[in-house]
Each structure stands twice: as C-alpha cells, then as structure tokens.
Amino acid sequence: MQANIKNGLSKRILDIKTVCSGNEEKKSTRNLDIRTVCSGNEETKSTRNLDIRTVCSGNEETKSTRNLDIRTVCSGNEEKKSTRNLDIRTVCSGNEEKKSTRNLDIRTVCSGNEETKSTRNLNIRRASSGNEEKKSTRNLNIRTVCSGNEEKKSTRNLDIRTVCSGNEEKSTRILDIKTVCSGNEEKKSTRSLDIRTVCSGNEETKSTRISSHLELLQLLQIMRSIIIGYFVN
C-alpha cells in the first residue's frame, strides 16, 4: 500500500489501510479510521471519530467533522463546516455540504447536490443530480428525488416518494406526494396536501389546504347550489 500523506500537525490513533496520492491532513486527526482514501482529498482541520470506508478523488473536509460514517464518497464532494452524526452510504460527485448538517442519513446522493444551510433529521434514500437544499429542512423523508429539484425554504414533515425533475418546493409542511412529475412548482405554503399524481406543468403558487377530497367537495357544492336554486324559485 502506497501512502502519500503530508502531515501538518499532530495525528493520534490513526488507522489507515489504504491512502492514495495527494491527500493532505494539515491539522489534528484523532480516532480516524480510513479504509480507502483516494487522490486529492484534503482534511485541513480537526476530524474526530471519523469512519471512512471509501473516499474518492477531490473531497475536501475543511472544518470539524465529528462522528462521521461515510461508506462511499465520490469525486468533488466538499464538506466545509461542521457535520455531526452524519451517515452517508453513497455520495456522488459535486456534492457540497457547506454548513451544519446534523443527524443526516443519506443513502444515495448523486451529482450536483448542495446543502448550504442547516439540515437536521434528514433521511434521504436517493437524491439525484442538481438538488439544492438551501435552507432548513427538518424531519424530511425523501425516498426518490430526481434531477433539478430545489427545496429553498423550510420543509417539515415531508414524505416524498417520487419527485421528478424541475420541482421547486419552497415552504411545504405535512406534504404527502406519491408521484410528482416534471415541471411542477409549489412556490408557497401547501399544508395537509395529499397529491397522488401531479403531472407536468402544474403550478400551485398559493396555499392549498385539505385538498384530498376536492372532487367530492365540488360535487357537494353543485348539489347545494341546485337545491338552493330549487327552493328559491
């Protein structure tokens, strides 16, 4: 095993099985268990209780990362600030986690994802390319999130099974979407919304509350209008 490590400061209790070319560990690294770390990785500040199984090229962990369990982290990932209790199984190219990410369980996160602010209690099974989670996302359960999704504002208690390309959800609370197709934009608050199938080009720009029985409500309103018109006439 070839190791090319430039150590700047103290390194204690370090267990490295395979460390590839170009890695730099500039400051203290304690209780570090790295199985395979590939080229171009830089860990410039304190990294404690870190368990990395496979870390590929171009990863940068510039600030404190504690209790981090990364199984596979691919090229171009940057974790610039504190990441605590992070369980990443597969993180692909171009991901950036710039601020605090706590209790994060990501199974598969693909290219181009950016999590720039606090993300707590986040459970993402599969998030594909181009996803951006810019603000606080709490208690989020995403099973499959496809390309181009942007979740810019707070999304709490969100259960998305399949969200396709181009969706934007800015403030969505207690949202249960089973299938949301391409080009949908949900720009404002949507509460207690149950959408089974939302196809392309739909825009829900204002608040929609308790819309699961919309057809039944419309039918009741039509019957009510007919009955009122009958007695009035």
* Percent share of the chain, pLDDT over 70: 6
| C-alpha distances in Å from residue 84, one per residue of 15, 74, 105, 117, 198 | 21, 19, 11, 14, 36
pLDDT in tens, 38-50: 444 554 444 444 4
Domain that holds residue 117: 5-232
Q: Provide the 3-class DSSP secondary structure of residue 27.
A: coil
pLDDT in tens, 67-81: 444 444 444 455 444
Give the count of domains, the chain: 1
CB 113 within 8 A of CB 97: no
pLDDT for position 220: 74
Q: What is the mean pLDDT of residues 51-60?
A: 46
CB 163 within 8 A of CB 148: no
Q: What is the mean pLDDT of residues 122-147?
A: 43
In order, the DSSP letters of 28-46 are -EEEEEEEEE-TT-EE-S-
pLDDT for position 159: 45
Q: What is the mean pLDDT of residues 111-131?
A: 43
pLDDT in tens, 150-202: 444 444 444 444 444 444 444 444 444 444 444 444 444 444 444 444 444 44
**What is the rounded average pLDDT for all residues in the chain?**
46
pLDDT in tens, 64-118: 444 444 444 444 455 444 444 444 444 444 444 444 444 444 444 444 444 444 4
* Cβ-proximal residues to 54 (8 Å cutoff; 6+ apart), any chain: 35, 36, 38, 70, 71, 72, 73
The answer, yes or no, to whether residue 60 has pLDDT greater than 70, is no
